[in-house]
Chains A and B, each alone.
Chain A
Amino acid sequence: MPLIAAAGRAFHIQKLGSGPPVVLIHGLVIGNLATWFFGVAPLLARGRSVLLYDQRGHGLSAPAESGFDLATSSADLGGVLSAVGGFSGPVDVVGHSYGGAVALRFALDEPERVRRVVVLDAPLPPFDPAEVASMMKEVDEDQMRQLIELDHRQFSELAARLAAGRGRRGALRADRARHLREGTTVTADLMAEAPIDAAGLARLERPVLCVYGSRSPFRARADELAAILPDARIVELHGGHLLPLECPAEVVRVVEEFLDG
C-alpha cells in the first residue's frame, strides 16, 4: 500500500494518469480517498496526473488523535505535495466538503503552490454545530444514497436514526465515526475553527470554481464565496452534498472545463 511520510506521519496516497497535476482532497468522517477512486479520479486521470491522499486519521493513513483543523490540514497537504514527485510546483486543488475548506485555506497559506481551486459543496467556518453533528454520524451506502437529495433538516434526522448502520460495512463505518467522535479532537477542532479569512480570500489572485448541489444544505455557501472572492464562478449541479459519489461524470465535466479554461 503506497504510504509516504509527510509532516512526521504516514499518509496513504494514490496517483493515477499523467498530465497537469491536480490533487483531490476528501471530506471528514464519511470521506477518504475512495470518495474519488471509483469515479472522479479515473475520469480526471485521462488527461491529468491525479494525486489522491487520505487525510490524517482517515482511510489508510496513520491514525491521528488531533490536528483536524484547517491550519493543520493545510500543512498536511503541503507536506504531502512536497513528498510526492511532480507536485511541488503550482497544482490544481480540488476539495470536497471539509476538503474544499482545506483547499481554500491552502490557497491562502501557500498561494504560490496553487494554480486553480475547485470547491465542491464545502461548508465554511465557523462550522454550524448541527452540520458538525450530522458529519459525526455514520450511515451505510444505501443510506448515503438516500442522503444525497435530502434537505438539511431531514439529513440530521435520517443520519441520527441510521447512525448504527447495518452489517459489517455499516458496523465498520459506525466504529470509525465513533472513534473519530470519541477518540479524537475532531469535533472540538471543527467547533473551534475561526471564521473564514474573508479579507485574505478577497485578495486571492487565483480562479476559484464553486460547485454546489442544488439541494445541498451548503448551497448558500457558494454565493457567500462568490461575493468575497475576486475571481469566482458558481456551477450548480442537480443533487445534494455527496456530488463526487452521486454524479462523478458531471463533476469531472465542469472541473475539466474550468481547469482547461
Chain B
Amino acid sequence: MSETLDVIRGVIEDVVGPEWSVDRPITMETSFGSDLELESIEFVALAEKLQARYEKVDFVRWLSEKELEEIIELKVGDVVAYIDTCH
C-alpha cells in the first residue's frame, strides 16, 4: 500500500506542477478537492497518468462514473485502496 501511495504522490506532484508545490505532505487523508484543489481537467490528467502506470486499473472509467461532487471529496486513500483492490 505504501508503494502505491508513493506512486500516487509522484503522479500528483507531476500533475500539480512545480509552481504549485504542495506545502503539506500528501497522506492517505489528503483530499484532492479541498486540500490539493485539483481542477477538473487535472483530475482527468491524474486519471490518465495512473492509467498509464497501472495497466490493469481502468481508472479513467472509475473516475468518469463518479459525480463531480464525489470526486471533489475523494481522498488519496480512496485511490490507493481502489488501485490495490485491482491487483
- Which A positions have Cβ atoms within 8 angstroms of B? 1-2, 14, 16, 32-34, 37-39, 41-42, 45, 54, 59-60, 167-169, 172-173, 245
Contacts and interface: CB of A to CB of B under 8 A. Distances in A.
B19 to A, nearest CB: 10
Nearest to B72: A141
Interface of B: 20, 36-41, 43-45, 48-49, 52, 60-61, 63-68, 71
A168 B39 CA distance: 9
Counting from the closest, the 9 A-B pairs by CB-CB distance are: A34-B40, A168-B37, A42-B64, A34-B41, A169-B37, A1-B48, A38-B68, A32-B41, A59-B41
Contacts of B63: 38
Contacts of B44: 14, 33-34, 37, 59-60
A37 B20 contact: no
Nearest to B46: A1
A151 B43 CA distance: 30
B67 A38 contact: yes
Contact of A42 (B38, B41, B61): B61
B64 A37 contact: yes
A246 B77 CA distance: 29
B60 to A, nearest CB: 7
Contacts of B67: 38-39
Contact of B39 (A1, A14, A54, A173): A173
Nearest to B41: A34
